[in-house]
Amino acid sequence: MQNNYKEHLYKILVIGDLGVGKTSIIKRYVHQNFSPNYRATIGVDFALKVLNWDQETVRLQLWDIAGQERFGNMTRVYYREAMGAFIVFDMTRPSSFEAVTKWKEDLDSKLTLANGKNSKHRQTHSLRHTRTHTHKTLLS
Ligand SMILES: Nc1nc2c(ncn2[C@@H]2O[C@H](COP(=O)(O)OP(=O)(O)OP(=O)(O)O)[C@@H](O)[C@H]2O)c(=O)[nH]1
Ligand SMILES: [Mg+2]
């Protein structure tokens, strides 16, 4: 019988301002737990989420980048060869939502996709979606 087993590895960035909950979201997604104690990430942390579908395994290598890194020079190194990004904000802190644009600009200026294009088009789409979703949530 033919073996159709396939493995995929994707590098995914998780970015956003200090203390918005990036590490918490990853912890919940990967380890199904939550801690109310805040310990700021220093530099970058990693987590691996493994998804199995029939004959395929997807490994999401999640790069949990410290909020304070937006003002540093290391993000260019961290963004290299990423396949996707989540920009996180805290709904109770409007300044962290305004900062989403700054994070996106940081991505656009530094990230080059595997096809040689930059991340602008796709990121803009997801941003617009987030904004619409947030407006709806805030109004409801
Ligand atoms: N109430 C509440 N608190 C949360 C939520 N998500 C995270 N927190 C708390 O907010 C604080 C900051 O969360 P982190 O996940 O460490 O934030 P971060 O974005 O990783 O922060 P940096 O690593 O400094 O960039 C912690 O004390 C968390 O327990 C949430 O959905 N609700
Ligand atoms: Mg963190």
pLDDT tens digit sequence for 87-139: 999 999 999 999 999 999 999 998 766 556 666 655 544 444 444 444 444 44
Give the lowest-confidence range in 14-23, 32-41, 67-76, 80-89: 67-76
Query: Distance (Å, rounded) from C-alpha 68 to C-alpha 48?
Result: 22
Predicted confidence at residue 129, as pLDDT, reads 47
Residue 79 has pLDDT above 60, yes or no: yes
- pLDDT 10s digits, 49-71: 999 988 899 999 999 999 999 88
91 C-beta closer than 6 A to ligand 1: no
Query: Distance (Å, rounded) from C-alpha 35 to C-alpha 54?
Result: 33
Tell me the CA distances in angstroms from 36 to 22, 78, 86, one per residue in order: 13, 27, 22
CA atoms within 13 A on the CB side of 88: 21
Q: Which residues pair with 51 in a beta bridge?
A: 58
- Nearest atom of ligand 1 to the alpha carbon of 41: 23
The predicted model gives 27-51 an average pLDDT of 96
116 C-beta closer than 6 A to ligand 1: no
Pairing of strands 6-16, 84-88: parallel
Mutation choice for ligand 1 from 34, 35, 38, CB with most ligand atoms inside 8 A? 38
Query: Distance (Å, rounded) from C-alpha 97 to C-alpha 94?
Result: 5
21 C-beta closer than 6 A to ligand 1: yes
CB atoms within 10 A of CB 19: 16
Ligand nearest to the CA of 20: 1
Cα-Cα-Cα-Cα torsion 136, 137, 138, 140, nearest 10 degrees, comes to 80
Residue 85 has pLDDT above 80, yes or no: yes
Spacing, Cα 94 to ligand 2 middle (Å): 19
